Amino acid sequence: MENTVLTPLGQSCLQSLLKVWLDFDLAMNQVPVVKRLEQGRLSLEDYQTLLLNLRQQVIEGSRWISRSASSFDRDYSDVRSTVIGHSKEEHRDYLLLEADYVATGGKLEDIQSATKNIGSEALHGFLMYRATQTNPVDLIGAMWIIEGIGNKMATRWSKLINEQFAFDNKATSFMDYHGENDESHLQELYNLIDRVATSTKNNEDIVRTAKVVAKLYQLQLEEVDNA
């Protein structure tokens, strides 16, 4: 991959973000449903419940991205363009989750009528709140975490699930989708980091939001077993 040379502040921001990601990655191993998935003890019901829970957050996930786009003012119009592109790309991801759910034998009306779990509520609420602030550059930290999870799903979880179950039709399209264009997404993130990691204050905000999003995402996964 052709690396964009990051500025010193951008590098320091990426370094901190990488640490937040690795801390989160370790913490995820403690989440019961993730533990079962990683250790090959996931039941079909578990996978269905996971899809059902993820869908409720994902269907509204693009809302915070679109809203944050509109919160960037004229000084950040270039960032706004990137964010709009991102939002357009992902705002129908929930359809993949629904298709996967049906492919596992679930009923479409069940996944469509379910509600958000407690963690998803908190995550969605936090993201919508941040997205409403003027020039919410810290949301790059949120994108970093969400992108990281997408990558983990595509490169690891999908493989594990397909090893464990034999579905007639592809039932991991949501997870796999996030592996495609991974390199270009990463490059896009690097560009964004370079663009907004222009002060220590911005870096602190970005890292803090990454930490909050990681924690709330963890809560969302924990709540999969309580839904």
Partner 1 sequence: MEVYINSTGRYLPGKAIDNEEIETVLGLIHGKKSRLKNKILKSNGILTRHYAINQQQQTYISNSEMAANAGNICIESSYLSPSKIEMLSCATSQGDLVLPGFGSMVQAALNLSEVELHTSHGICSSSMMALKAAFQNVKCEDSKNALVVASELTSRLFKNSRYEQLESNEVDFNAEFLRWMLSDGAGALLLENQKRPTGTSVRIDWIKSFSHANSFPVCMSVGQAKNEETKTWQDYNSYAEAEKSGALLLRQDVRLLDNIVSVGVQGFLKLIAEGHVDINKIDHVLCHFSSKYFKSKIFDMLETAGASIPENKWYTNLYERGNTGCASIFIMLDEFIKSHNLKAGETIFCMVPESGRFNCAYMHLTVAGNE
**Residue 7 · residue 190 · CB < 8 Å:** no
Q: Residue for token digits 């009923």?
A: 107
Point out which span in 26-34, 109-117, 129-137, 208-216 binds partner 1 (CB under 8 A).
26-34
Please tell me whether residue 112 binds partner 1 under the rule CB under 8 A: no
Min. distance of Cβ 161 from partner 1 in angstroms? 14
Please tell me whether residue 225 binds partner 1 under the rule CB under 8 A: no
Integer angstrom CA distances of residue 212 from 24, 123, 145, 186 = 10, 9, 10, 21
Min. distance of Cβ 166 from partner 1 in angstroms? 19
Please tell me whether residue 1 binds partner 1 under the rule CB under 8 A: yes
Point out which span in 4-12, 95-103, 123-131, 208-216 binds partner 1 (CB under 8 A).
4-12
Please tell me whether residue 25 binds partner 1 under the rule CB under 8 A: yes
Integer angstrom CA distances of residue 180 from 21, 155, 186 = 20, 10, 11
Please tell me whether residue 6 binds partner 1 under the rule CB under 8 A: yes
Task: Please give the Cα distance from 83 to 68 (Å, whole number).
Answer: 8
In terms of CB distance, is 12 or 112 closer to partner 1?
Answer: 12
State which H helix or E strand residue 179 sits in.
Answer: none
Instruction: Write down the H helix ranges in 39-165.
Output: 44-71, 77-90, 93-103, 108-113, 118-132, 139-152, 158-164
Q: Is 119 left (phi over 0), alpha (psi -120 to 50) or beta?
A: alpha
Please tell me whether residue 12 binds partner 1 under the rule CB under 8 A: yes
Point out which span in 25-33, 67-75, 168-176, 195-203 binds partner 1 (CB under 8 A).
25-33
Alpha carbon 82 to chain centroid, angstroms: 17
Please tell me whether residue 204 binds partner 1 under the rule CB under 8 A: no
Please tell me whether residue 165 binds partner 1 under the rule CB under 8 A: no
**What residue ranges bind partner 1 (CB under 8 A)?**
1, 3-4, 6, 8, 11-12, 14-16, 18-19, 22-23, 25-27, 29-30, 39, 190
